[in-house]
Amino acid sequence: MNIQEIEAQVRQIPDFPSEGILFMDILPILKSPAHFQGLTRHLSDLAGDIDCVVGIEARGLILGAAIAMQIDKGFVPLRKAGKLPGEVRSISYGLEYGKDVIEIQKDILNPGEKVMLIDDVLATGGTLIAGVKLLRECGVQIQSVVVALEISGLPGRAEFEREFPDLKLHALMVK
C-alpha cells in the first residue's frame, strides 16, 4: 500500500480537543488492517540500525509496538505521569493546548543502546522534544526520530530542528 492511500484515511476533526485546534485523527488507519500494516511497514523502513523502539503515549505506543514486532526488536513506552511502576525519569512540556508530563522507567534502557523514537503526529513539537530530552537523560543513542504525520502549518519541525540540529526528523506523511 502506498503512502498516499494511507494518508487519505487521516480525518481532520475541528475544535478538538479545544476550540481552534484541527485534530489529525489517524484512528481510521489503525482500524483498517491493510492500512495499519502498510503504515507500520513504511515506518519500519525508517528505523535504521537500532536495538529498541521507543513510543510516546498514546498512539505512539500503538505504532511503536507494531514497528518493534515488524523488525523483531524490543519496545519501551514513554508514558503519561503515574502510569509506570518503579522509579521513573520524567519531564514536563508544553502542548498546543496545555501542559503534560511523560515518564520512562529509570532502568529500562541501557546507556549506549540505539533507539528509534516514534510518535503519531508532529504539531508544535513539545512532545517529541520532551521525548528526545528524556532519552538523552538515559544515555541512549537516538538513531532515528519518526512521526507518522507532520502538520506543516505548525512550528513543530522548526522547533525540533532548533533544539536538536544533530538529529534528523522523519515524517512519513505531511498535511
What CA–CA distance (Å, rounded) separates 5 from 117? 24
Question: Does pLDDT of 88 surpass 70?
Answer: yes
Question: Does pLDDT of 96 surpass 80?
Answer: no
* 89 pLDDT tier (thresholds 50, 70, 90): very high
Question: At residue 30, what is the residue type?
Answer: L
Mean pLDDT of the chain: 94
Give the percent of the chain with pLDDT over 90: 87
Peptide bond into 17 cis (omega under 30): yes
Grid coordinates representing 93 are 512540556
* 150 pLDDT tier (thresholds 50, 70, 90): very high
What CA–CA distance (Å, rounded) separates 140 from 74? 14
Options 57, 59, 103, 157, the catalytic residue: 59
pLDDT tens per residue, range 156-166: 999 999 999 99
Residue 96 appears among annotated catalytic residues: yes
Grid coordinates representing 118 are 516514534
pLDDT of residue 97: 62
Summarize the confidence of residues 117-139 as an average pLDDT: 95
* 22 pLDDT tier (thresholds 50, 70, 90): confident
pLDDT tens per residue, range 32-87: 999 999 999 999 999 999 999 999 998 999 999 999 999 999 999 999 999 999 99
Overall pTM > 0.85: yes
Question: At residue 128, what is the residue type?
Answer: L
The owner of cell 541512549 is 140
Options 96, 103, 113, 150, the catalytic residue: 96
Strand 141-150 to strand 169-174: parallel, antiparallel, or no bridges (unpaired)?
parallel
b/e map 33-55, b = 16+ CB within 10 Å: eebbebbbebbbebbeebbbbbb
Instruction: Pick one of 3.40.50.2020, 3.30.365.10, 3.40.50.720, 3.30.70.100 as the CATH number of 49-174.
Output: 3.40.50.2020
Integer distance in angstroms from the first to the last C-alpha of the chain?
19
Residue 59 appears among annotated catalytic residues: yes
Domain ranges of the chain: 49-174
b/e map 17-32, b = 16+ CB within 10 Å: eeeeeebbbbeebbee
